[in-house]
Amino acid sequence: MTGQALAVQQTPEPDVLYQDLRNYLKSYLKPIDLEMIDGAYACALDAHSEQTRISGEPYICHPVAVAKILAEMEMDKDTIAAALLHDVVEDTHVSRKQLVSQFGVSVADLVDGVTKLDGLPNYSKAETQAENVRKMVLAMSKDLRIIVLKLADRCHNMRTLSCLPLEKRRRIARETLEIYAPIAHRLSMNKIRHELENIGFQTLYPMRYRILKEAAQKAHGSHQEVLIALIQCIEQRLSANGLNCNVVGREKIPHSIYQKMRKGHIPFSEVFDVLGIRIVTDTVDECYRALGLVHGLYQPLPGYFKDYIALPKKNGYQSLHTIVLAGEYECRVEVQIRTRSMHRLAESGIAAHWNYKSEADSSRHSKTRANEWLQNILEIQKSAADSLEFLEHLKVDLFPDETYVFTPQGEIIKLPRGSTVIDFAYAVHTDIGNTCLSARIDKRLVPLQTVLYTGQTVEIITSSEACPVPPWLNYVVTARARAAIRAYLRDQKQDDAIQFGRRLLERELQKFGMKLDQINESTITTFLESMKYETLNDYLAAIGLGDRSAFIAANWLCQSDGEGMKLNVDEHSPSTVVIKGTEGMIVNLAKCCHPIPGDHIIGLFHRNKGIVVHLSNCKNALEARSHRAGWIDVEWDSLKEDDKEFPVELILSVRNRKGTLSQISTIISRLGCNIEHVNVETQDLELSRNTFIVTVKDRQHLAQLIRKLYRLQSVVKIRRRVG
């Protein structure tokens, strides 16, 4: 049920809440608009009259609160009315036909766009969620106000989340961080985005949130005097040069701090080594003049200047970013410079299209960007096999770091960081992607899997005989390219898939000096039985469609004994159930790096050992990856048995105190871990180096063990050996 979250504070009476909303609306809506909104409130109040939220407050409080959030963005009358009515079709007797009759088609369409699909037959919770997101995105393509309304609805639900059962709170918070906050970011609605991220982060990681918030408040207090002095100094320099700008300090929020620490692998102290200041001007010309004055006042740090005014972000965000060194205060200062319209656009995003009519250029720019993104998403959903695949592609698309490259004609193509030539080809056009053969980067011939970097000019070479192949899926980054490749492979006719799969298998067999018709029939039969395929053509079709690996099949069929590779059937071996992508071959976990479930892994093929699974950052794995020979992508099977355990090597630096080894052994035992090997080396009179090989279930179990060990006063440092 939409808006079923709980209120955490005593809420005023509905009429008092609505009067507060109405007073706010008077500031920018006409009296005739208020009459329609009064009617919408009366209709919603009557429809929800018998309903209460789980907290006991009248249900109507939720739609009024959602309408207030939209009013603060100065949305139009239809959106405000739809906010008051957004749950009546889903949760009451009111029909869409009644809404059309009373309030018009526009309001009814907005309500319909945020109404969830319930009672889907034979659908899991994940599929139902995916279908609802898909429905919302399709509705967004017709009217962008739908997503503004949905984000306001989600924002109030997050504000009133705390009294729900723990699992439901965590599920809603995770969904918000994975889908709705990124959508708000993608549409440049940063005010709502930051609130969604912070509440979601607080719900999923309450301890981390509390620690970071307390540390941030302490750091802000210690930096307050410096920040005030910096602002005054910058204001004086700008004013002396005839610029009337608004200069304010920027406060970092816990979720933003957490993301910077994770992405940069840096401690909290380094995040707060940078103070934040924002300068808001009247014109674009003043932005660049202010930038010059700031750089004249303080030394800019090389490599940290970004011009998002000349090259806006995908979501339409525009601003100048720079980091300068304030030597007299021994600190770095991050400065953002933007116009007032750019600032409003950064806060409200596409919502700015429905207000500030005098600044239509910037709001139209944001709406155009949003529509371009939505068209891209619509292409992806057409290619997706089902709603779950579409949701997967949508999540990939929502987390891009951008790379700017050029077509030969000088057109700028924006791609996520790490994108390859194939991603570029599909970004230009699906037909270009489906027929790309190779490419030239800055007039130099390169393979399709080449990673692109900002500033390069890319020319795609196509051929009518070229077509997507399964290995491309290993190289692409963008959801659009991945969806198009999968759609092409999926739509291939069975005969084409068989022929293509046969060519791929023959190519791998040639490396062993073999051909498919030279393989013993009994070996093929044994192989097909182990793979659970009835005929060879079925398996060849699976290779052609990218579902099976020609590399593994060739290695299996070409074993020197002529009887095929023996399968690993030892029931006590963890490798029989935990590794996907190995298709029944012998699987061993590498002893050099001891991978455990949850680690990023890679499979290396050995003729006598089968597939040996390494950590992806293991030295042996990195050497194999450098020439892309003999390795395959593998992953842990999520259906692993709970009682399986895996060895991992820990190196502990401990103080030489009596009973330390006993304390460590006790903790390891209490957590259900088994000690397989111990080696103690005395480094000096104070410290010793203890090497333990212990068994754990997965990375989470290992992290729990390490946290417990760190609580011992005698433990100085813990390191996991990874090769």
Catalytically annotated residues: 90-91
Cα angle at 504 between 499 and 508, to 5 degrees?
Answer: 145
Burial call 440-469: b when 16+ CB within 10 Å, e when fewer: ebeeeebebebebeeebebbbebeeeebbb
Pairing of strands 320-326, 579-580: unpaired
DSSP state of 473: G
Provide the token pair at 81.
């009315």
How far from 230 is each of 74, 272, 322, 330, 332, CA to CA, in Å? 34, 16, 15, 12, 11
User: For residue 628, with 0-12 CB atoms within 10 Å meaning exposed, 13-18 middle and 19 or more buried, which class applies?
Assistant: exposed
Alpha helices, H only, 14-142: 14-25, 31-47, 61-72, 77-85, 88-91, 96-103, 105-114, 125-140
Closest CA to 287 of 317, 323, 248, 243: 243
**C-alpha distances in angstroms, 36 versus 18, 39, 90, 143, 365?**
14, 5, 21, 20, 30
Give the SS3 label for residue 3: coil
Give the 3-state secondary structure percentages of the chain, helix then strand then coil, rounded to 5: 50, 15, 30
Paired strand residues for 307: 320
Taking the C-alpha atoms of residue 575 and residue 585, their distance in angstroms, rounded to an integer, is 10
Evaluated on CA atoms 100, 102, 104, 109, the torsion sign reads negative
Cα end-to-end span (Å), the chain: 50
Residues 6+ apart with CB under 8 A from 450: 420, 421, 439, 441
**φ and ψ at 322, to 5 degrees?**
-150, 155
Neighbours of 305 (CB within 10 A): 15
Contact 25, 80 (CB under 8 A): yes
With beta carbons less than 8 A apart as the criterion, state whether 294 and 335 touch.
yes
Task: List, as own/partner pairs, every contact residues 327-330 make where C-beta atoms lie below 8 angstroms and the sequence separation is at least 24, other chains included.
Answer: 327/298, 327/299, 329/226, 329/229, 329/230
Please give, one letter per residue, the 3-state secondary structure of 449-460.
CCECCCCCEEEE
In 3-state terms, what secondary structure has residue 722?
coil
- Residue in the structure block whose two tokens are 């196509």: 462
d(Cα 104, Cα 346) in Å, to the nearest integer? 31
Answer yes or no: are the C-beta atoms of 85 and 63 closer than 8 Å.
yes
**SS3 per residue for 152-198:** HHHHHHHHCCCCCCHHHHHHHHHHHHHHHHHHHHHCCCHHHHHHHHH
Q: 336 is written with which tokens?
A: 């953002």
Cα(639)–Cα(426) distance, rounded to whole angstroms? 35
Q: E-assigned strands of 255-386?
A: 274-281, 299-300, 306-307, 320-326, 331-339
